[in-house]
Structure 1
Amino acid sequence: MSASRTSQQPPRGARSQQARLGSRLRAWGRHHRAMALDSLHRLVRYPLGNVLTMLAIAIALVLPAALWLTLDSARLLDAELTESATLTVYLANDVNAAQAQRIHEAVTAQPAVEQTRFISAEEGMAEFQHSLGLEDTLAGLDANPLPASIVIQPDDVDSTAMQALAERLGEMAGVDEVRLDLAWIERLRHLADLGRRLALALGVLFGLGVLLVVGNTVRLSVESRRREIEVVMLIGATHAFVRRPFLYSGAWYGLGGGFLALALLSLGGQWLALPVAALAESYGAAFSLPSLDVTGSTILLSCSTLLGWLGAWLAVTRHLASIKPG
């Protein structure tokens, strides 16, 4: 019995090794917490200069974030405009009502057609008069020059698919012309693609700016504590040990800059909300400026914190290489 119980217990060396590993992990965690709190206390001790540094980071983050929000609203507008993309089939002038009805049924039966609306010549003239406000002027015409038409909402709003549908409809008997105007949608998509590339380029450039701001601030902090670092390295401290508080300082700078950037975006959105709503209302539309949701805010804060940490790591690593204790 004692032999079997002894065989089930782990060796004493393994238990000692597990205990040492657990104590190391706990000590590592305690040191990280201590360095995080110590770096935060150092920032709070000199609030004005550190807040200005965070404000510089926030300004660098606001510009690409605001452009990205603008592109997000443009993508929503592009989706609405894409849904409104239509084809207009104009019938020949010599087509009578019965023939127009048959053509309408044939067009509706096309597999790529989702929805159609038949507009007679009289309805077309009435809409034309109402849109231009020329009811009295056009009322004196001897004959209606407008043909009957069919407005089509296609299943696929891709330009190639719509062009193929327009060619098929144009070959039908009694169809005079098929008008397809996708140039403005294509221009909007090209502008959106250009905007995305511009936002990415600005994000990279201003991200480098954040690295430089944090790196320069941390470099000054390293120089001010140079004697302390030399003493700590003399008693055996590793570069990772010395680097840790500065990394947390960089992360705090980035996190504070991210929160200030969110505040600036919110204030800017509230400041511009009224004139934007008035401009949209003047065009008979309802539009509001987009804002960062929880996911977007989390991404912004994560990126700012990571940039602050990376800028501090680059600065500290570069200057620790030049510090020779002794």
Structure 2
Amino acid sequence: MSRETPSRRGARAQRATAGGRWRSWLRHHRAMSLDSASRLLRHPVGSLLTMLAIAIALVLPAGLWLTLDGARLLDAELDESATLTVYLEKDVGADEAGRIEQALAAREGVASTRLITAAEGMAEFQQALGLEDALARLPGNPLPASVVIHPQDPAPAAVQGLADGLETVAGVEEVRLDLAWLERLRHLAELGRRVGLGLAVLFGLGVLLVVGNTIRLAVENRRQEIEVVTLIGATHAFVRRPFLYSGAWYGLGGGLLAWGLLTLGGDWLAAPIAALAASYGASFALPGLGLAGSAMLLGCSTLLGWLGAWIAVSRHLAQIRPR
């Protein structure tokens, strides 16, 4: 029978000690998380008010982010609908207009084309204005044939370059495009993104202040307990742990309330937003948070709560000295 060497016995004892410390560390974390949650449940009104303050601070930047995300999707649709209208010379006939359309479609940067003859243009004009009888009295059709072009690249610079090149085609009278409104929309979207980022930072600091002030009061209420455990050798990490879990619970609760407010607010605003978009002939709806957005919201709120608690506890632990 083989005898175990002292080195093996020492290694096994060391592994057992490390495993025991690891299990003890996990048990303490579990106990502190449950204890901090129970402390919050003992004061439901105060805890709920703190979580509600966190939720209100999170709702505005999150709602603005959702609005900008919907505007980004709308901007993509507008890019797809970017078109140029090429007006042909008045004396161009139907056959020649078809040949000009083929020449335009073959040019680089053109995705698709659609020919609108003079008769079709007049019919659309009459239908849009509702002046069929008045326009029917005209001696002739004053509208020229036109070609609607969808560019491959909807970027303003690329569209402008394409328009300059199309004006040199024989039989083309004028190329018309209006990019000013699209540029204004993009500038507004960029402004909204920066405002949203600034609000997220400011309200994130607000969450840190709310959680930090709440945890500061909890530290003061348990000051004598902290002094006692510090006297018997407890480390700052040991003392800090229950307060960090309290901050994380506050953040998670605030995130859940913010998620509920955003969901209810989106459902409440869905009908009027859809009606407003339909009045402009568009379809727009506020996007939901989704699984990824919900996870990000809850993760950020929990992290902010934990960070606010860590800052408050670390600051006050440095001021507490056992007597």
**TM-score, length of structure 2 as denominator length:** 0.96
Q: Which residue of 1 aligns with 2:105?
A: 108
| Letter of the structure 2 residue corresponding to residue 66 of structure 1 | G
What is the distance in 1 between the residues matched to 2:140 and 2:240? Answer: 87
Tell whether 2:141 aligns with 1:119.
Answer: no
1:221 pairs with 2:221:
no
- Corresponding residue to 1:97 among 74, 77, 94: 94
Match of 1:67 in 2: 64
1:266 aligns with 2:263: yes
Match of 1:178 in 2: 175
CA deviations on 1:157-204 (whole Å, 9 max, x unpaired) are 111211111111111111111112122111111111111111110000
3-state SS in 2 of match to 1:117: strand
Report the secondary structure of 2:293's partner residue: helix
Write the distance in 2 (CA, Å) between the matches of 1:10 and 1:132.
98
How far is 1:285 from its partner?
4.0
Whole-angstrom CA distance in 2 between matches of 1:149 and 1:281 = 28
Query: Superposition pairs for residues 276-295 of structure 1, below 5 Å?
Result: 276-295=273-292
Q: Does the 8 A contact of 2:255 with 2:298 survive in 1?
A: yes
| Corresponding residue of 2:151 | 154
Shift in Å, 1:234:
0.5
Instruction: Give the CA deviation at 1:155.
Output: 1.2
**Partners of 1:276 and 1:112 in 2: CA distance:** 36
Q: Distance in 1 between matches of 2:270 and 2:319?
A: 52
| Residues 31-77 of structure 1, C-alpha deviations (whole Å, 9 max, x = no match) | 10010000000000000011000000000000001111111111111
2:23 counterpart of 1:43: no
Q: Mapping of 1:1-326 within 5 angstroms?
A: 11-326=8-323
**3-state secondary structure, aligned to 2:270:** helix
> 2:173 is paired with a residue of what secondary structure?
strand
User: 2:111 touches 2:152 (CA, 8 Å); kept in 1?
Assistant: yes
Q: Which moved more, 1:260-269 or 1:297-306?
A: 260-269
SS at match of 2:147: strand
Q: Quick one: distance in 1 between partners of 2:309 and 2:49?
A: 17
1:106-157: per-residue Cα shift (whole Å, max 9, x none)?
Answer: 0111131111100111111111111111212222212222111100011111
The alpha carbon displacement at 1:105 in A equals 0.9
Shift of 1:286: 3.8
Query: Which SS does the other structure have where 2:114 is aligned?
Result: strand
Q: Give the RMSD, CA atoms, in angstroms.
A: 1.7
Any idea what the Cα deviations from partners look like across 1:197-224, whole Å, max 9, x if unmatched?
1111000000000000000000000000
Distance, in Å, in 1 between the alignment partners of 2:283 and 2:90 is: 39
Q: SS where residue 126 of structure 2 aligns?
A: helix
Number of equivalenced pairs: 323
Bigger shift: 193-202 or 16-25? 16-25
Q: Distance in 2 between matches of 1:73 and 1:196?
A: 12
| Structure 2 residue runs without a partner (length 5+) | none
Separation of aligned partners in 1, 2:34 and 2:143: 78
- TM-score, normalisation: structure 1: 0.95
Of 108-117 and 271-280, more deviation after overlay is shown by 271-280
Is contact 2:104-2:110 (8 Å) kept?
Answer: yes
Asked if 1 retains the 8 angstrom alpha-carbon contact of 2:252 and 2:302, the reply is yes
Q: What is the CA distance between 1:284 and its match in structure 2?
A: 4.2
CA distance in 1, matches of 2:9, 2:24: 22
Identity %: 70
Which letter does structure 2 place at the counterpart of 1:109? Answer: A
Taking the aligned partners of 1:267 and 1:286, their CA distance within structure 2 comes to 21
1:279-310 C-alpha deviation (Å, 9 max, x unpaired): 33444444333221011000000000000000
Amino acid at match of 1:144: N
Range moving further from structure 2, 244-253 or 260-269: 260-269
CA separation in 1, counterparts of 2:110 and 2:163?
11
Kept in 1: contact 2:74–2:284 (CA 8 A): no
The separation in 2 between residues aligned to 1:165 and 1:38, in whole angstroms, is: 68
